[in-house]
């Protein structure tokens, strides 16, 4: 331990960390330092107040550029944004009578108010598309860097492991909020263009003004994004387990799909409240009159619990892990 | 933090601890909430009954959870969670929201996952709003007011009050009334009134009514069948507020684009019974009374090769039930947790909250 401390204190942390992780380069004598050294590096970001702190949001900003700048992510977001447009156009072209029996979600209301395109699109994408998008970003977060071999360079730039995790998770959170708002706003624009707006009819049969409706839509987006953030926390943990981003993404997607499937099995109703996705559908509570905010509490609490457990698990796994790529 | 560098494996204690704390904390809150027995001044069963009948309810709003596990076979299109159809109330777990501001201003909302059915009474107007079908039904009550029609064949009580009223109507010498443990329901202290049928052939072991200590309003209603502690039917407030709700809650204007149907009042119309049906007779009194109806069509459907979707449906439902026979004849038996139904092959239907043996007895004596 003293050797590690000495390295950490004496050398600029860039050098110190390089010693810590460089299993292959250092060879024999350094091998003993490997784990502790690697771990020590995570914390010297906190112990040593170095001028690098002043960089502040630079890493975060570069992470955002990475997420929103990648072609594949842009293509994914385009696909997400296409769904509300397809819904709106299809409803416009086919002109199905409004009163459909058991029309799912808000489809029956679309023709009378374009506002509902946004809600219908969110409802449709919530089952698979949005979770896949978040899974792709979360799975890519740590495993992607490891796969490209950039993870150790990231850590040698004076970036602590905790800070790396924090920035990666912040990126996932921003992405989750962005895609939900993206789907809602594209849906809103498409809906208003094709069907027009006007007062919004709530589930309770009362009407509120369009502005009030927009506020509720914003709250729905916020609530759903919090749920997706919980999925993102699980994803960040899964991503620290592997160096294959594809594998992580698939695992996270399967987790969310499994959660949805289990939620449909009535025999497992004792399990339902604990499922990750169980409370997502409760966003409908925001469209009643009056809104009972108590009904949203279980969803938010469950998301907070998932985030706490899986972020700390990611921290435990990533802090204790040998970074070799 | 430093211990986490020297022994990285210890890091795993943090997520494990967090998970345990969350699960344990959640469980503990639940346990304490149900175990806590508020100390309330003694009140006799008779006093509680008087409290119940004299309770004046100015206003109330709250959330009600209804759980029904009647042991019914799952029928197509009936029941299920998250459904906002009124007929689904017969089984499963449902959340309702209620508002009450005097007898002529009530609103009841059955919450589905992304839908809602509201029954709103405001003065003489009664509205039924169905968000999934986007339709509203309107009926006007007579000048004298009168009660909200309860003629639905599937009518089950939807608030603890309504359930308690029905149970109290059944109190007679065959019932033993006692005071149970006090409880905390929806954050309020409550007495518990226990009704126990004396008759051994009753399937109902106990009916428990929890009564708010301050407002004397039923907060929870449970039917506990013989041989178990878990209620087969339960209606309870999870949140309740005795403030008078805003009158705006009771104003309903059908939104544009809604299909509005005007319905005449259906108070006495037998909802689904065909004209040829005889009026059912009731055998026995109190808890063990048995309803006997003659349904000749049933016999025709059951053995002949009657065609048609309805006949097929009836046959498939009956066919799934166990065949029983005895001195009284033979038929199919539907055994729920708190009631039993017998459809005999000669076209009689017997229903009661009693054991099958009692039904056979009635069937024998009522040929």
The count of C-alpha atoms lying within 13 angstroms of the C-alpha of A39, restricted to the half-sphere facing its C-beta, is 22
Is 50 exceeded by the pLDDT of residue A7? no
Distance from CA of B268 to the nearest CA of A (A): 28
Q: Which residues pair with B192 in a beta bridge?
A: B210
Closest alpha carbon within chain A to B127:
A205
What CA–CA distance (Å, rounded) separates A135 from A141?
A: 10
Average pLDDT value for residue range A243-258: 94
> Quick check: B76 contacting A, CB < 8 Å?
no
What does the DSSP 8-state code read for residue B202?
A: B
Q: Are residues A242 and A141 in the same domain?
A: yes
Q: Are residues A149 and A277 in the same domain?
A: yes
Distance from CA of A301 to the nearest CA of B (A): 10
> Quick check: B81 contacting A, CB < 8 Å?
yes
Is 90 exceeded by the pLDDT of residue B357? no
Q: Which residue has the higher pLDDT, A269 or A103?
A: A269
**pLDDT value, residue A117:** 92
> Quick check: A32 contacting B, CB < 8 Å?
no
Residues of chain B with Cβ-Cβ distance to A309 below 8 Å are 15, 18-19, 22
**pLDDT value, residue A48:** 43
Q: Are residues A151 and A258 in the same domain?
A: yes
- Judge contact between B212 and B220, C-beta under 8 A: no
Closest alpha carbon within chain A to B12:
A316
> Quick check: A292 contacting B, CB < 8 Å?
yes
What CA–CA distance (Å, rounded) separates B58 from A97?
A: 44
* Binary contact (A315, B11; C-beta < 8 A): yes
How many structural domains are present in chain A? Answer: 2
- Closest to A292 (Cβ–Cβ): which among B14, B63, B249? B63
Element (H, E) at B220: strand B218-225
| Residue A112 maps to a domain | yes
**Most confidently modeled range among A215-224, B30-39, B280-289:** A215-224
> Quick check: A162 contacting B, CB < 8 Å?
no
Least Cα distance to A158 among A319, A36, A301, A16 occurs for A16
- The predicted-structure confidence for B75-120, as pLDDT tens digits, reads as follows 554 444 556 666 666 677 888 999 988 878 889 998 887 888 889 9
What CA–CA distance (Å, rounded) separates A174 from B168?
A: 57
What CA–CA distance (Å, rounded) separates B324 from B100?
A: 47
Average pLDDT value for residue range B315-320: 74
Residues of chain A with Cβ-Cβ distance to B254 below 8 Å are 205
**pLDDT value, residue B145:** 44
Reduce the DSSP state of residue A306 to 3 states and report it. Answer: helix
- The predicted-structure confidence for A278-290, as pLDDT tens digits, reads as follows 999 899 899 888 8
CA distances from A132 to A97, A128, A224, A236, A303 (A): 32, 6, 14, 14, 18
Residues of chain A with Cβ-Cβ distance to B252 below 8 Å are 205-206
Closest alpha carbon within chain A to B95:
A295
**pLDDT value, residue A38:** 37
**pLDDT value, residue B25:** 83
- Judge contact between A83 and A124, C-beta under 8 A: yes
What does the DSSP 8-state code read for residue B354?
A: B
Q: Are residues A133 and A4 in the same domain?
A: no
Residues of chain A with Cβ-Cβ distance to B93 below 8 Å are 269
Least Cα distance to A38 among A57, A19, A24, A56 occurs for A19
Instruction: For chain A, positions 52-91, list CB contacts with chain B under 8 A.
Output: none
What CA–CA distance (Å, rounded) separates B193 from B195?
A: 7
> Quick check: B287 contacting A, CB < 8 Å?
no
* Binary contact (A99, B259; C-beta < 8 A): yes
- The predicted-structure confidence for A311-325, as pLDDT tens digits, reads as follows 999 999 988 777 776
**Taking the alpha carbons of A226, A227, A228, A229 in that order, is the dihedral positive or negative?**
positive
Q: Which of A22-26, A266-270, B89-93, B96-100 has the lowest average pLDDT?
A: A22-26
With cut-offs at 50, 70 and 90, classify the pLDDT of residue B259. confident
- The predicted-structure confidence for A104-131, as pLDDT tens digits, reads as follows 567 777 877 889 999 999 999 998 999 9
Is 50 exceeded by the pLDDT of residue A134? yes
Average pLDDT value for residue range A292-321: 91
Percent above pLDDT 90 for chain A: 48
Closest alpha carbon within chain B to A282:
B113
Residues of chain B with Cβ-Cβ distance to A294 below 8 Å are 63, 239
Q: Which residue has the higher pLDDT, A66 or B84?
A: A66
Q: Is B45-262 in CATH node 1.10.1780.10? A: no
- The overall average pLDDT reported for chain B is 78
Chain A interface, best mutation among B76, B108, B120, B131, by max A CB count within 10 A: B131
Q: Are residues A114 and A13 in the same domain?
A: no
**Most confidently modeled range among A7-16, A224-233, A294-303:** A224-233
Reduce the DSSP state of residue B138 to 3 states and report it. Answer: strand
- Closest to A319 (Cβ–Cβ): which among B4, B97, B109? B4
- Closest to A204 (Cβ–Cβ): which among B22, B116, B132? B116
What CA–CA distance (Å, rounded) separates A96 from A106?
A: 14
Is 70 exceeded by the pLDDT of residue A46? no
Count of CB atoms within 10 A of residue B11's CB? 22
| Residue A10 maps to a domain | yes
What CA–CA distance (Å, rounded) separates A77 from A71?
A: 10
> Quick check: A204 contacting B, CB < 8 Å?
yes
Omega cis (within 30) before A258? no
Residues of chain A with Cβ-Cβ distance to B4 below 8 Å are 39, 43, 319
Is 60 exceeded by the pLDDT of residue B3? yes
| Residue A325 maps to a domain | no
> Quick check: B256 contacting A, CB < 8 Å?
yes
* Binary contact (A201, B11; C-beta < 8 A): no
Element (H, E) at B263: none
What CA–CA distance (Å, rounded) separates B254 from B240?
A: 28
Q: Are residues A242 and A310 in the same domain?
A: yes
What CA–CA distance (Å, rounded) separates B357 from B327?
A: 12
Q: Which of B179-193, B290-304, B328-342 has the lowest average pLDDT?
A: B290-304
Percent above pLDDT 90 for chain B: 6
**pLDDT value, residue A18:** 36
Distance from CA of B289 to the nearest CA of A (A): 34
Q: Which residue has the higher pLDDT, A61 or B256?
A: A61
Percent above pLDDT 70 for chain B: 78
Chain B interface, best mutation among A9, A35, A160, A205, by max B CB count within 10 A: A205
Closest alpha carbon within chain B to A107:
B132
- Give the number of beta-carbon pairs within 8 Å between A and B: 110
> Quick check: A207 contacting B, CB < 8 Å?
yes
Closest alpha carbon within chain A to B20:
A309
Is 70 exceeded by the pLDDT of residue B307? no
**pLDDT value, residue B149:** 46
- Closest to A39 (Cβ–Cβ): which among B8, B131, B255? B8
Alpha helices in A70-199 (DSSP H): 71-94, 107-110, 115-127, 129-148, 151-156, 161-195
Q: Are residues A127 and A3 in the same domain?
A: no
> Quick check: A9 contacting B, CB < 8 Å?
no
Count of CB atoms within 10 A of residue A208's CB? 16
Q: Are residues A219 and A192 in the same domain?
A: yes
Closest alpha carbon within chain B to A288:
B116
With cut-offs at 50, 70 and 90, classify the pLDDT of residue A246. very high
* Binary contact (A43, B255; C-beta < 8 A): no
> Quick check: A110 contacting B, CB < 8 Å?
no
Q: Are residues A4 and A98 in the same domain?
A: no
Reduce the DSSP state of residue A165 to 3 states and report it. Answer: helix
CA distances from B200 to A219, A259, B63, B131, B354 (A): 55, 46, 36, 45, 9
Q: Which domain holds residue A78?
A: 56-319
User: What b-and-e string marks burial along A57-71, b requiring 16 or more CB atoms within 10 Å of the CB?
Assistant: eebbeebbebbeeee
Helix A13-21 vs helix A34-47: angle between axes, to the nearest 10 degrees? 160
Q: Which residues pair with B92 in a beta bridge?
A: B68
- The predicted-structure confidence for B270-289, as pLDDT tens digits, reads as follows 444 444 556 778 887 777 88
Is 70 exceeded by the pLDDT of residue B309? no
For residue B41 the two structure tokens come to 């001044």
* Binary contact (B255, A109; C-beta < 8 A): no
Least Cα distance to A284 among A275, A295, A276, A298 occurs for A295
**Check: complex ipTM more than 0.90:** no
What CA–CA distance (Å, rounded) separates A276 from A235?
A: 12
Q: Are residues A23 and A159 in the same domain?
A: no
With cut-offs at 50, 70 and 90, classify the pLDDT of residue B249. confident
Q: Are residues A8 and A124 in the same domain?
A: no
What CA–CA distance (Å, rounded) separates A321 from A115?
A: 48
What does the DSSP 8-state code read for residue B78?
A: S
What CA–CA distance (Å, rounded) separates A72 from A205?
A: 42
Q: Which of A32-36, A286-290, B259-263, B344-348 has the lowest average pLDDT?
A: A32-36
Q: Are residues A39 and A63 in the same domain?
A: no
> Quick check: B5 contacting A, CB < 8 Å?
yes
Biggest alpha carbon distance in chain B?
Answer: 86
Start-to-end Cα distance in chain B: 83
CA distances from A11 to A3, A153, A159 (A): 12, 17, 15
What CA–CA distance (Å, rounded) separates B28 from B17?
A: 15
* Binary contact (B1, A46; C-beta < 8 A): yes
For residue B188 the two structure tokens come to 């309020």
What CA–CA distance (Å, rounded) separates A100 from B132?
A: 9
Average pLDDT value for residue range B144-152: 44
- The predicted-structure confidence for B158-168, as pLDDT tens digits, reads as follows 677 777 777 77
What CA–CA distance (Å, rounded) separates B115 from B94?
A: 12
**pLDDT value, residue B291:** 87
Residues of chain B with Cβ-Cβ distance to A267 below 8 Å are none
Average pLDDT value for residue range B192-220: 88
Q: Which residue has the higher pLDDT, B115 or A173?
A: A173
What CA–CA distance (Å, rounded) separates B34 from B18?
A: 24
With cut-offs at 50, 70 and 90, classify the pLDDT of residue A11. very low
**Most confidently modeled range among A254-258, A263-267, A282-286, B222-226:** A254-258
Q: Which of A218-227, A245-254, B29-38 has the lowest average pLDDT?
A: B29-38
Chain B interface, best mutation among A200, A203, A288, A310, by max B CB count within 10 A: A203
What CA–CA distance (Å, rounded) separates A278 from A260?
A: 7
- Judge contact between B233 and B70, C-beta under 8 A: yes
> Quick check: B27 contacting A, CB < 8 Å?
no
- Closest to A201 (Cβ–Cβ): which among B81, B133, B255? B255
For residue B108 the two structure tokens come to 């009841």
Distance from CA of B92 to the nearest CA of A (A): 9
> Quick check: B93 contacting A, CB < 8 Å?
yes
**Most confidently modeled range among B4-8, B14-18, B251-255:** B14-18
Q: Which residue has the higher pLDDT, B274 or B12?
A: B12
**pLDDT value, residue B152:** 41
Distance from CA of B1 to the nearest CA of A (A): 8
């Amino acid at each position: 331990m003293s050797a590690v401390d000495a390295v950490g204190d004496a050398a600029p942390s860039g050098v110190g960390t390089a010693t810590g992780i460089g299993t292959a380069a250092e060879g024999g004598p350094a091998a003993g330092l490997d784990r502790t050294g690697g771990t020590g590096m995570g914390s010297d970001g906190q112990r040593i107040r170095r001028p690098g702190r002043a960089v502040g949001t630079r890493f975060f900003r570069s992470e955002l550029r990475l997420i929103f700048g990648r072609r594949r992510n842009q293509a994914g977001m385009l696909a997400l944004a296409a769904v509300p447009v397809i819904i709106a156009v299809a409803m416009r072209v086919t002109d199905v009578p409004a009163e459909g029996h058991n029309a799912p979600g808000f489809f029956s209301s679309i023709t009378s108010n374009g506002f509902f395109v946004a809600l219908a699109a969110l409802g449709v994408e919530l089952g698979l598309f949005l979770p896949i998008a978040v899974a792709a970003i979360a799975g890519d977060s740590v495993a992607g860097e490891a796969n490209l071999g950039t993870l150790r360079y990231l850590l040698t730039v004076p970036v602590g492991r905790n800070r790396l995790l924090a920035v990666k998770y912040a990126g996932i959170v921003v992405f989750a909020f962005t895609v939900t708002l993206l789907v809602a706003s594209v849906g809103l624009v498409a809906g208003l263009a094709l069907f027009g707006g006007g007062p919004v009819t709530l589930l309770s049969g009362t009407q509120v003004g369009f502005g009030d409706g927009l506020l509720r839509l914003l709250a729905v987006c916020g609530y759903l994004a919090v749920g997706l953030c919980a999925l993102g926390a699980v994803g960040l943990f899964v991503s620290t387990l592997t160096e294959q981003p594809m594998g992580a993404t698939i695992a996270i997607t399967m987790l969310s799909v499994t959660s949805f499937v289990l939620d449909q099995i009535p025999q497992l109703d004792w399990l339902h409240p604990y499922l990750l996705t169980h409370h997502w559908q409760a966003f409908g509570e925001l469209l009643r009159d009056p809104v009972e905010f108590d009904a949203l509490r279980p969803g938010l609490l469950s998301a907070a619990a998932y985030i706490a457990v899986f972020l700390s698990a990611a921290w435990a796994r990533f802090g204790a892990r040998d970074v070799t790529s | 933090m430093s211990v986490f560098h020297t022994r990285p494996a210890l890091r795993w204690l943090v997520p494990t601890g967090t998970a345990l704390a969350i699960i344990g904390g959640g469980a503990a809150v639940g346990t304490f909430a149900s175990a806590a027995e508020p100390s309330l001044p003694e009140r006799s069963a008779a006093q509680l009954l008087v409290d119940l009948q004299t309770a004046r309810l100015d206003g109330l709003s709250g959330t009600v959870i209804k759980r029904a596990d009647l042991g019914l076979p799952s029928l197509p299109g009936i029941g299920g969670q998250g459904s906002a159809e009124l007929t689904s109330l017969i089984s499963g777990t449902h959340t309702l929201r209620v508002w009450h501001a005097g007898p002529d201003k009530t609103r009841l909302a059955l919450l589905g996952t992304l839908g809602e059915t509201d029954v709103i009474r405001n003065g003489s107007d009664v509205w039924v709003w169905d968000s999934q079908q986007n339709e509203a039904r309107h009926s006007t009550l007579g000048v004298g007011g009168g009660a909200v029609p309860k003629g639905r064949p599937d009518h089950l009580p939807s608030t603890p009050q309504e359930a308690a009223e029905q149970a109290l109507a059944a109190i007679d010498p065959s019932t033993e009334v006692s005071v149970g443990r006090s409880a905390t329901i929806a954050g309020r202290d409550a007495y518990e009134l226990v009704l126990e049928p004396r008759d051994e052939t009753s399937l109902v072991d106990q009916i428990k009514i929890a009564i708010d200590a301050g407002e004397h309003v039923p907060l929870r209603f449970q039917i506990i069948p013989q041989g178990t502690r878990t209620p087969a039917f339960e209606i309870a407030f999870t949140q309740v507020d005795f403030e008078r709700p805003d009158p705006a809650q009771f104003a309903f204007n059908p939104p544009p684009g809604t299909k509005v149907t005007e319905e005449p009042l259906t108070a006495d119309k037998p909802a689904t019974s065909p004209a040829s049906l005889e009026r059912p007779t009731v055998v026995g009194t109190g808890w063990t009374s048995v309803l006997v109806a003659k349904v000749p069509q049933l016999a025709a459907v059951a053995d002949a090769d009657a065609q048609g979707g309805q006949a097929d449906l009836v046959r498939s439902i009956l066919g799934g039930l166990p065949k029983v026979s005895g001195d009284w004849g033979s038929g199919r038996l539907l055994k729920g947790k708190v009631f039993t139904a017998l459809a005999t092959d000669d076209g009689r239907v017997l229903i009661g909250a009693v054991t099958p043996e009692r039904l056979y007895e009635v069937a024998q004596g009522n040929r």
